Amino acid sequence: GTDPAQAPDRTEEMMSVVDTTWPPAEIRRADPFLLRRGGGGGKRVSSASALRGEVTAAQIDAAEAAMREMGQVPLFSLRPGDAALDAALEARGYTVVDPVWIYARATTELAELDKGASPERVSLTAWEPLAIQREIWAAGGIGPARLEVMTRATCPKTSLIGRYDNSPGGTAYLGIDGDIAMLHALEVAPEVRGRGMGRAMMIDAARWARDHGARELAVVVTRANTGGNALYRALGMAQVGTYHYRQGS
């Protein structure tokens, strides 16, 4: 689709929020890279990112070797400003995977949006997640390794249990870093998709975040996720960052 309304780029700031709210099993500093060991929790917790622009071939070699030593396929997260590294990885045969957008909006603005007419859509908060949430996540491909990421987070956090007309309607995880809350792993139950459950859960997430001191609610979503992108844009969230991965073999 077309690029969403773009605010000033805040990718680096938001990626720091990602590392806090969706933490890798381990972060190693290997100049000029931060290396993440993910423990099977997905690309976000398993990629290397450059701390500064100038990167040599030998430094890329070293990062590749370190990632293999961690039992991971070499994977780099490329942000705005990483054009030289991006080109160097492309020359090595790395393929682009999962370009994403980062969206954000003030919690006070999101919290005041209308959740829509009945039937009732309401979210409860709980930590730890309940069995029904684990089932909804599992059905959406969010398994034990990603639940482990949530458990690992030491920031203020909660899970949201979406309820649609008194039945389980969805689940999500929410963490706060400083005054930015980030929502991850939003999964709406198949039987209530297209009925405003995701929107209602985002509004409830903003209310929880606001009540816990967060000024903004942010989300990270792949460009290929048309439903997610449509939802966040419909909520008036602005694109504040972008990145993509390059994966080796």
Q: Give average pLDDT by consecutive 10-residue segment, the chain, 249 residues.
A: 68 97 96 95 96 91 96 96 96 97 98 86 95 97 97 98 94 98 97 94 98 98 96 97 96
**Which among 9, 61, 14, 3 is positioned nearest to 33, based on CA atoms?**
61
Q: Report DSSP state, residue 213.
A: T
CA distances from 191 to 13, 146, 159, 165, 198 (A): 36, 23, 20, 12, 13
* Predicted model pTM: 0.94
Predicted confidence (pLDDT) per residue in 94-109, tens digit: 999 999 999 999 999 9
CA distance 229 to 223: 7
Measured CA to CA, the distance from residue 151 to residue 45 in angstroms comes to 14
Which of 157, 162, 171 lies closest to 214, judged by CA? 157
pLDDT in tens, 193-232: 999 999 999 999 999 999 999 999 999 999 999 999 999 9
8 A C-beta contact, residue 184 and residue 88: no
Give the pLDDT score at 2: 53
* Count of residues making up the chain: 249
How much is the pLDDT for 8?
84
